[in-house]
Homo-oligomer: A and B are copies of this chain.
Amino acid sequence: MLRVYGTSASGNCHKVRMALEALARPYTWTEIDILRGTTRTPEFLAMNPNGKVPVLEIEPGTYLAESNAILWYLAEGTPLLPSEPLQRARVLQWLFFEQYSHEPYIAVARFLRKLHPDPASQRALADSKMSGGYRALEVMEGHLAHTPFFVGERYSIADIALYAYTHAAGDGGFELERFPAVRAWLDRVQAQPGCTPMSA
């Protein structure tokens, strides 16, 4: 059976849970406490030398890292990933947008303000993430003004990847009220099978 080594409060890990639930794939979840350095132990680094969650154990001894690579692997051949080449490339475009232009601002601001052991000490750093995060939300707003989902007018792993930290952006101090198309899209994603908000 598939096993996820993940942290429930991490959006990157939550993506994997959402895909598995949407596909009704059986899996086991092993909770990893990133604040206690569990991802830096020799055992963890043997699974992912880059020391990050999530890690998917496909079979004993076979591991796959990087949340969006895991999403792609799980979604291949299912309705969560289109079959047409350009649409598939557009899914990837949004997955890379998420990891480069969205997560480093919106996820990091949330971590510093909500999950860090001493948020007050991190305020200046968290504040420095706001303009980049708002730029990402503006790009999403412009796109979602014209389409119900990110690619091909159908729910896909592009939506799962971007939902993960967008629905929790308020934790990082972002005002989603300014983005009506993003909010309507969040509602549409939340109506999909297997979609749940993060627990933390």
Where the two chains meet, the residues of A that have a C-beta atom closer than 8 Å to any C-beta of B are 49-50, 52, 58, 62, 64-70, 72-73, 76, 85-86, 88-90, 92-93, 95-97, 99-101, 103-104, 139, 142-143
Residues from chain B with a CB closer than 8 A to the CB of A88 are: 72-73, 76
Does the CB pair A73–B97 fall under 8 Å?
A: no
Complex A-B: 15 CB contacts under 8 Å:
A49-B139, A49-B143, A50-B97, A58-B86, A66-B93, A66-B96, A66-B97, A68-B92, A68-B96, A69-B89, A73-B86, A73-B92, A76-B85, A76-B88, A95-B96
Min distance, Cβ A183 to any Cβ of chain B, angstroms: 19
Does the CB pair B90–A142 fall under 8 Å?
A: no
| Secondary structure class of chain A's binding surface, majority of residues | helix
If A50-B139, A96-B66, A142-B49 touch, whether A89 touches B72 (CB-CB below 8 Å) is yes
- Considering the chains assembled together, what is the distance between the CA atoms of A1 and B1 in angstroms? 46
Select one of B50, B96, B104 contacting A69, CB under 8 A.
B96
Does the CB pair B86–A62 fall under 8 Å?
A: yes
